[in-house]
Every structure is written in structure tokens, then in C-alpha cells.
A and B are shown apart, each in its own frame.
Chain A
Amino acid sequence: MSAALAAARSSGTPAEPMIDVTGLVKVYGGNGDDAGAGVVRAVDGIDFHVDRGEFFGFLGPNGSGKTTTIKILTTLLRPTGGTVRVGGLDVVRDPREVRKMLGYAGQSIGVDGDLTGRENLRLIGHLYHLPGSVVRDRVEELLEVLQLTEAADRPAGTYSGGMRRRLDLGSGLVHHPPLLFLDEPTTGLDPQTRNAVWEYLRALHRTERMTIFLTTQYMEEADQLCQRLAIMDHGRIVAAGSPPELKAGIGADLITIRLPQDEGFEASRARALALAQGVPDVSGVVEFDQGVTMRAGHGGATLVEVLRRLEADRIRVNEVAVAPPTLDQVFLQHTGREMRVEEVRPTSSGPWARHRRD
């Protein structure tokens, strides 16, 4: 085992982060100068680090530069500018050594549909030069854990989307890397399978102390899994921190009041809006199709006050809710836009395929 690898695995040297990125820039098209048509500044000067054993996430909408960043970290793309160190090694100068440390499951699921599940995993094991017996054992273990044993001898082309995701995840784990990169690992999965993948990743992180870097478009996924995350937008990190920290930065709870949908609805909603605006501590009151929502520094206490005033004005209330801030609001606050995610979209094949001139 090389020294770098040993260093990457040891839990010591806490001073050196597992991933250390400074001033990272990636420009597609052109030769680094920004002029000209067709030039895309996909990553626009970002700095971040990921500690050993940390579960870190990149959250951002389509085209924000998540895949580009992850491809640079995994040595699949060369950066235009800045430095990237993974496990203490420079990804441009030492790509080979960096590759030994990492496992990767890309956004476009890279399984070979002609090979069976078992053959897919074994091939990866052999490419990492693991001895035959080790490959056999690990592949069987992985098939078991990923619940693919029954389908193991079927061509992967016959697998369902969820099975293919799991197989792809498995192929990033055969060589048991200390660092795992996952690009939108649950996109296209049904909620049940998504939960199972989450559970698995949590367990992997907890019991193996694996460092995991994940990208996602799902607020909930980032919230549930990541100890720390960076919110990406247009190639920049607009906010970073643990989910509670990020939400605390908003400093407000969300109050939702639903009114009965009767003939007086419009009038009562207008009234409620006006009344709520008069309450101290309330801000950002807006109407929506079922009532009004607003933000408040102290959700509980303020809600009581709002309800008292509605009561006094004889406005009937159907339902109330107070919710702590969500990452949606964090995103909204930092970008001025709502992050919309279409649940179903075709999986893009990543930068490689996008080079194609159509």
C-alpha cells in the first residue's frame, strides 16, 4: 500500500482535509479565455473542503456545476484553474494515486447492460488488481447487501432503474475505497428505493467511516444525509454549512394558515393577510390558493398572536402549521429563486456526451 493511500485511510492527520479545493474554475469550450460564443463557465471559482469521514453534499439545480465539480475531483476532467487536492494529493499531478483512493457512481449509470450484475462487479474488482479470491468474496457480499443476489446472473440490461442504481453503487465499492463520490445517486428512484439507498449510505458512512461526497437536487436528501453541504448555483457556492446552520441563517419559522374554501374565502383571505401583517415579528406574508403563509422569528408564540387576532375578527380557520425553515427557503434566500425539480427527467450522460455536436 502506498504511503498516500495509507495516509488516506488512517484516521490520523486530522489537519489535512480529505478534499481541499481552492479557486476551482472550469470553462468548457475555448482555451480558458472567457470570450466567444459557446464558452460555458460551469464552475466559477469555488473553495471548499471535506474532512475525513465527513458526509458532504452539493445541492443545486440543473446546470449549477455539480457534475462538473465531481468529475474534476474524480480526475475525469481537468480543471481550468485552481487547485484540487484529494487525500493530500493534487488531482492534476497525481491522478493515478488519487484514483486508487476513490469510488465513483456517476449520474449516468455506468453499468454494462450485456454483462450480468455479477460480471459487472467482478470486472471492476479485477481492474483494481484485487486477487481473484478477494474479488469473488467481495462481489458476493455486495450482491447480498444490495439485494441483487437473485438477479446476479441476469444481464444488467434487464434490471429495473433501482436495481441498476444499486449495481452502479456497488461497482463504486468493490475495491472498498476510503472516499466515495456519488452524483445524484437517487435521481429517478421511487421513494421506497430512495429511502433504502439513504439507509445504506448512512450505514456505510457510520460503520466504515467512509468519506462520502454526494450531489443532489433534492433538498430532503441533502437535509437527511449530509453533515455539511454547499449550495451551488450558476457555478458558485452561494451558501455552505450544516443543514441546521443554514436554516438558522434564515432565522425564521414558516407559518401556514389554511382557511375554509367557502364563498367567503377570498374576503377572509384578504382580511387575514392584512391582520397578519400587523403582527410584530411577522414578515413576508403571502397569499396562496388555500390561505396565507408568513415567516416569523418565534413561530409558536407568534402563531398564537396571529390566531388571536383572526379570532377577534371572526375569521374561521381550517388548519394551521408551523414549520422550522427548510432548505428550500435557504435556497430561495440565497438565489432569489425557487429551486424547481422535475421528478422525472432523462438521465443526461454527463460532459462526455455533451461534447457531441448536434
Chain B
Amino acid sequence: MATAESVYRPSTPALSAPAALGSAGGIVTEILWVAYRSLRKLSRSPFLLFFTLMMPIIWLGMFSQTFGTVFDRAASGPGQAPLAYNYIAVLLPGIAVMSAIQSAAQSGFSMVSDIETGFMDKFLVAPISRASVLLGKTLADGVRMAAQTAIVLAIAFLFCVAFGWKIPFATGVAGDAMIVVLTAAFGVAFAGLSNSVALFTKRTETTMLVSFTLTFPLLFLSTAMLPYDLLPGWVQTFSKYNPVSYVATASRTLILTGWNWTEIGQAFLAVAIVAVLLYSLAVFAFRRQTA
């Protein structure tokens, strides 16, 4: 290996740019590099990548065939005017947010595995912010969620063309882009929970359990699966406090009727509240680890 002559002697001056450390621009750079690393990892796991992108498509297929058919039949009973759109149009934002929640629930896994392999120490001895590590990881998950949402919308559109599904897509590509952003933003915010659990327990099993336990109540006690008017009374009450509702409702309006900035504003506000709460918790958990 090395001899005295070949020993590492940098041709470049020592630590050339520590000025960037700790600055606002510095933190953005850190977040982007951490995110880049996570996405690189994802790209190296073809199976993971495949199932990440397949999952929402499978949901879409399943829901359209089961609930969709039942709902369509019920809605077009004798004496009722046929609906201008299929139930799947109502469900579409729900499927997108469901995929995002699932990805968010797994977000903490990489935290656990980095701790277990000792790679986390590489981040922690570097003079970078703890928040950069956390945000970089969840940003990468956000990219994944955005891709999932975009694929679901694209496939749904293809089915409209190919099989005559009736989905209005009232706001077109711009509205779809808004749904992608909104869904991914919610997913990133919700990922704060799984990362907190991961940092507190350092176990994949607990992380999975806590997140998955919350996934279904969050979805079904919201307007993600059914519009507000069709929910039973107590679920209506609950759904008003459920941030998922605001994201789903805003997205649904974009698909069915058009732009509603009040709903969109409310949805982003809900996302922001979730993010602040869960990320405070996650950062606290992160700090506690180095005690």
C-alpha cells in the first residue's frame, strides 16, 4: 500500500472553504448532498425502486375495480342521472396521499440502518447541521413521493384514454402539478413522525409498527376515501382535525371542478403545522441521541 513517498499529500490547500460551513447557503448544500446520496442508494436498489413506483399503481387498480364499481353502480341506480365522472376520480387524490403516507411511514428505516451500519457517525462528525441530515433524507423521500403521485395521475389519465374512465382533470397539467407538490409536501411533513420514532427507538420494527398503525385511521377518518358529505357524522367531526382531509379535498377539487385557492391555502397550512410539530420532535430525538 502506501510508502512514505506515496502518502496522501493533498495537492490542494487545506480546508479551502470552511466559510460556507454553517451559513444558510451551506445548509442548503448539505441538504442537497444528503438527499442526493439517498436517491443514489434508491437507484442502486432496482427492486425497491420498482415497488416504490408500482405500489400506487396497484392501489389504483384495486380501488377502481372494487370500490369504484360498487360506488358507480350505487350512484347510477334507477331514477338517478348518471354521474359525469367515475368514483375513481373521487378516489384518485386519496390513492396519491395514501402512497405518500406509506412512503413516509418507511422514511425512518434509512435512519435506523444508517445508525446500525455506523454510517450515521460520518454525518455526525462532519461539521454539518443535524437538521441537514434529517431534511436531506426526507427531501429524497419527497422526490420519491412526487414521482409516485405523478405516475398515479399519468396512469389514471392513460386509463381515461384507453378504457374510457371518466375523470375530469378539471385543472389540467398545472392542477396535476399542484397535486404532486401538495401530496409530496404532506408526505415529507408526515415523514417527521417515522423519523422521530426511528431516532427514539432505533428499531425498524417499532418504526414500522407506529407508522403503519397510524396510516389507516389517518386515511379512513379523513376525506381521502369519500367526500365530506358522504362520511358518517362522527367521522366528519374527526376529519376536520385530520390534515389528510385538507390535502385530499384540495386535490379532489382540482381534479373535479377547478382551482380553489382557499382549499389549497388551507392544505398547505395543514402541511406546515404537521411539519413544524413532527420535525421539532424529530430534531429533539436527534439531539437526544448524542447525549
Contacts and interface: CB of A to CB of B under 8 A. Distances in A.
A and B: bona fide binding partners: yes
B202 A352 contact: yes
A204 interface: yes
Contact of A2 (B14, B18, B41, B202): B18
B17 A130 contact: yes
A8 B92 CA distance: 59
Interface stretch (A36-44, A112-120, A303-311): A112-120
B224 to A, nearest CB: 33
- B interface bracket (residues with beta carbon within 8 Å of A): 35 or more
Contacts of A204: 2, 7-8
Interface in B9-50: 9-12, 14-18, 20-22, 26, 29-30, 33-34, 36-37, 40-41, 44-45
Given A2-B18, A100-B18, A146-B2, A76 B290 contact: yes
A102 to B, nearest CB: 7
B80 interface: no
A356 B202 contact: yes
B129 to A, nearest CB: 9
Given A106-B118, A112-B119, A353-B115, A176 B125 contact: no
A141 interface: yes
Contacts of A113: 117
A326 interface: no
Contacts of B126: 99, 124, 127-128
B115 A128 contact: no
B15 A130 contact: yes
A24 B259 CA distance: 63
Contacts of B128: 127
Contacts of B4: 203, 206-207
A127 B117 CA distance: 19
Q: Bin the interface of chain A by size.
A: 35 or more
A297 interface: no
30 contacts: A1-B18, A5-B15, A96-B21, A100-B21, A110-B118, A110-B121, A110-B122, A112-B37, A112-B119, A113-B117, A119-B40, A123-B36, A124-B126, A127-B30, A127-B122, A128-B127, A130-B15, A131-B17, A134-B12, A137-B10, A145-B1, A146-B2, A199-B2, A200-B1, A200-B7, A206-B4, A207-B9, A208-B8, A350-B118, A352-B121
Interface of B: 1-4, 6-12, 14-18, 20-22, 26, 29-30, 33-34, 36-37, 40-41, 44-45, 115-128, 202-203, 289-291
Interface of A: 1-2, 5, 9, 74-78, 96-97, 99-100, 102, 104, 106-115, 119, 123-124, 126-131, 133-134, 137-138, 141-142, 144-147, 155, 166, 171, 173, 175-176, 193, 196-197, 199-200, 203-204, 206-208, 349-350, 352-353, 355-356
Given A108-B118, A138-B12, A349-B115, 19 more contacts: A5-B18, A76-B125, A76-B290, A96-B21, A96-B127, A100-B15, A112-B41, A113-B117, A115-B44, A129-B18, A138-B10, A142-B8, A147-B1, A166-B1, A196-B2, A203-B3, A203-B6, A204-B7, A204-B8
